[in-house]
Structure 1
Amino acid sequence: MKVSLQSEITLYPLSIRKDKKHYIVEEPISGDFFELPEIGVDAIKRLEQGEELVSIEHALKSSYPDEEVDIVDFVKQLLELGLVQEVDGMLVKKEQSKSTSRSGGFLWIPQSLGRLFFNRAMNKIYMLLLIANIIILILNPELFPHYKDIFLFDSMVLNILMYLSISLVLILIHEFGHILAIRSHDLPAKLSIGNRLIFIVFETDLTQAWKLDPKKRNTLYLAGISFEQVILFISFGIMLLFPDASIIGILGIIVLDIFIKFIYQCCFYMKTDVYYVVENITGCYNLMEDGRIYLNSLFKNRRKNGGNYKEIFQNEWNVIRLYSVFYIVGVVLTLILAVMYFVPQLYYTYTTIYLNLLGADDRAAFWDAIAFSVMTIFMLFLLVFVARKQKHEN
Structure 2
Amino acid sequence: MEITYDTKIKLFPLSVRQEKLHYIVENTVTNDFFEMPEVCIEAISMIQNNGLLKDIEEKLSKKFFDEDVNIIEFIKQLIELDFVSEIDGKTITRIVKMKEGTGFQWIPQKIGQILFNRYTAKIYFAMLLGSILILIFNPELVPHYKDIFIFDLMIENVLTVFLITLLLVLLHELGHVIAIRGENLNARLELGHRLFFAVLETDLTQGWKLPAERRNTLLFAGMYIDIVVIFISLLLQLFMKADSVYAGILGIVVFNTIVRLLYQLCVFMKTDFYYILENITGCYNLMENGRNFLSRWFPIIKKDETTMPFNGEEIIVKRYAYFYLAGILLTIVITAYYYVPQMIFAVNEMMVPGFAEPLTSIRFWDSVVFLLQIVLVLGLLLYSWTKKYRISS
Give TM-score, length-normalised by structure 2.
Answer: 0.91
Q: What residue number does 1:308 align with?
A: none
Query: Partner amino acid for 2:317?
Result: I
Deviation at 1:373, TM superposition (A): 3.3
Deviation at 1:377, TM superposition (A): 4.8
- The secondary structure found in structure 2 opposite 1:149 is helix
Q: Distance in 1 between matches of 2:83 and 2:13?
A: 8
Deviation at 1:389, TM superposition (A): 11
Query: Partner amino acid for 1:32?
Result: D
After superposition, the C-alpha distances for 1:90-147 in whole angstroms (9 at most, x for unaligned) are: 2223332363x2x522112121122121122212211221222222222322211010
Q: Distance in 2 between matches of 1:175 and 1:388?
A: 31
Alpha carbons of 1:136 and 1:105: their partners in 2 closer, same or farther (altered >3 Å)? same
Q: What residue number does 1:117 align with?
A: 115
Q: What residue number does 1:225 align with?
A: 223
Q: Distance in 2 between matches of 1:391 and 1:12?
A: 39
Q: Distance in 2 between matches of 1:107 and 1:164?
A: 29
Please say if residues 195 and 383 of structure 1, whose CA atoms lie closer than 8 Å, have aligned partners that are also in contact.
Answer: no
Query: Partner amino acid for 2:320?
Result: Y
Q: Distance in 2 between matches of 1:366 and 1:299?
A: 47
Superposed, 1:50-65 pairs within 5 Å as 50-65=50-65
Alpha carbons of 1:385 and 1:216: their partners in 2 closer, same or farther (altered >3 Å)? farther
- The secondary structure found in structure 1 opposite 2:295 is helix
Q: Distance in 2 between matches of 1:139 and 1:6?
A: 75
Query: Partner amino acid for 2:260?
Result: K
Task: Determine which of 143, 164, 167 is the counterpart of 1:166.
Answer: 164
Q: What residue number does 1:347 align with?
A: 344
Task: Determine which of 176, 182, 185 is the counterpart of 1:184.
Answer: 182
Q: Distance in 2 between matches of 1:118 and 1:166?
A: 24
Please say if residues 12 and 83 of structure 1, whose CA atoms lie closer than 8 Å, have aligned partners that are also in contact.
Answer: yes
Superposed, 1:228-377 pairs within 5 Å as 228-244=226-242, 246-299=245-298, 314-351=311-348, 352-360=350-358, 363-377=361-375
Q: Distance in 2 between matches of 1:12 and 1:82?
A: 8
Q: Distance in 2 between matches of 1:98 and 1:240?
A: 50
Please say if residues 220 and 272 of structure 2, whose CA atoms lie closer than 8 Å, have aligned partners that are also in contact.
Answer: yes
Alpha carbons of 1:85 and 1:94: their partners in 2 closer, same or farther (altered >3 Å)? same
Q: What residue number does 2:140 align with?
A: 142
In structure 2, runs of 5+ residues without a counterpart are none
Q: Distance in 1 between matches of 2:80 and 2:195?
A: 31
After superposition, the C-alpha distances for 1:151-203 in whole angstroms (9 at most, x for unaligned) are: 11111000000000000000000000000010000111110122212432101
Alpha carbons of 1:23 and 1:96: their partners in 2 closer, same or farther (altered >3 Å)? same
Deviation at 1:325, TM superposition (A): 1.1
- The secondary structure found in structure 1 opposite 2:312 is helix
In angstroms, what is the RMSD of aligned CA positions? Answer: 2.6
Deviation at 1:314, TM superposition (A): 4.2
How many residues end up aligned between the 2 structures?
383
Please say if residues 359 and 365 of structure 2, whose CA atoms lie closer than 8 Å, have aligned partners that are also in contact.
Answer: no
Deviation at 1:288, TM superposition (A): 1.0
Query: Partner amino acid for 1:321?
Result: K
After superposition, the C-alpha distances for 1:329-386 in whole angstroms (9 at most, x for unaligned) are: 1111111111111111112223322331232276110111223334445556777899
Moved more, 283-292 or 347-356: 347-356
Query: Partner amino acid for 1:200?
Result: A
Alpha carbons of 1:268 and 1:73: their partners in 2 closer, same or farther (altered >3 Å)? same
Q: Distance in 1 between matches of 2:389 and 2:4?
A: 36
Please say if residues 194 and 387 of structure 1, whose CA atoms lie closer than 8 Å, have aligned partners that are also in contact.
Answer: no
Q: Distance in 1 between matches of 2:166 and 2:137?
A: 29
Moved more, 128-137 or 228-237: 128-137
Query: Partner amino acid for 1:266?
Result: L
Alpha carbons of 1:190 and 1:219: their partners in 2 closer, same or farther (altered >3 Å)? same
Q: Distance in 1 between matches of 2:320 and 2:170?
A: 29
Deviation at 1:64, TM superposition (A): 1.5
- The secondary structure found in structure 2 opposite 1:298 is coil
Please say if residues 109 and 184 of structure 2, whose CA atoms lie closer than 8 Å, have aligned partners that are also in contact.
Answer: yes
After superposition, the C-alpha distances for 1:294-327 in whole angstroms (9 at most, x for unaligned) are: 1111246xxx9xxxxxx96642222222111111
Alpha carbons of 1:388 and 1:269: their partners in 2 closer, same or farther (altered >3 Å)? same
Moved more, 37-46 or 139-148: 139-148
Deviation at 1:391, TM superposition (A): 11
Q: Distance in 2 between matches of 1:250 and 1:362?
A: 29
After superposition, the C-alpha distances for 1:18-49 in whole angstroms (9 at most, x for unaligned) are: 11111100011111001111110011011111
Percent identity over the alignment? 43
Q: What residue number does 2:28 align with?
A: 28
Q: Distance in 2 between matches of 1:198 and 1:87?
A: 43
- The secondary structure found in structure 1 opposite 2:290 is helix
In structure 1, runs of 5+ residues without a counterpart are 305-310
Please say if residues 285 and 309 of structure 2, whose CA atoms lie closer than 8 Å, have aligned partners that are also in contact.
Answer: no
Q: Distance in 2 between matches of 1:313 and 1:123?
A: 33
Alpha carbons of 1:107 and 1:374: their partners in 2 closer, same or farther (altered >3 Å)? same
Query: Partner amino acid for 1:119?
Result: N
Moved more, 367-376 or 141-150: 367-376
Please say if residues 194 and 390 of structure 1, whose CA atoms lie closer than 8 Å, have aligned partners that are also in contact.
Answer: no
Q: Distance in 2 between matches of 1:366 and 1:123?
A: 50
Q: Distance in 2 between matches of 1:149 and 1:91?
A: 63
Alpha carbons of 1:2 and 1:85: their partners in 2 closer, same or farther (altered >3 Å)? same
Alpha carbons of 1:88 and 1:285: their partners in 2 closer, same or farther (altered >3 Å)? same
- The secondary structure found in structure 1 opposite 2:202 is strand
- The secondary structure found in structure 1 opposite 2:296 is helix
Alpha carbons of 1:353 and 1:9: their partners in 2 closer, same or farther (altered >3 Å)? same
Moved more, 125-134 or 185-194: 125-134
Q: Distance in 1 between matches of 2:274 and 2:91?
A: 39
Please say if residues 195 and 269 of structure 2, whose CA atoms lie closer than 8 Å, have aligned partners that are also in contact.
Answer: no
Q: Distance in 1 between matches of 2:166 and 2:383?
A: 19
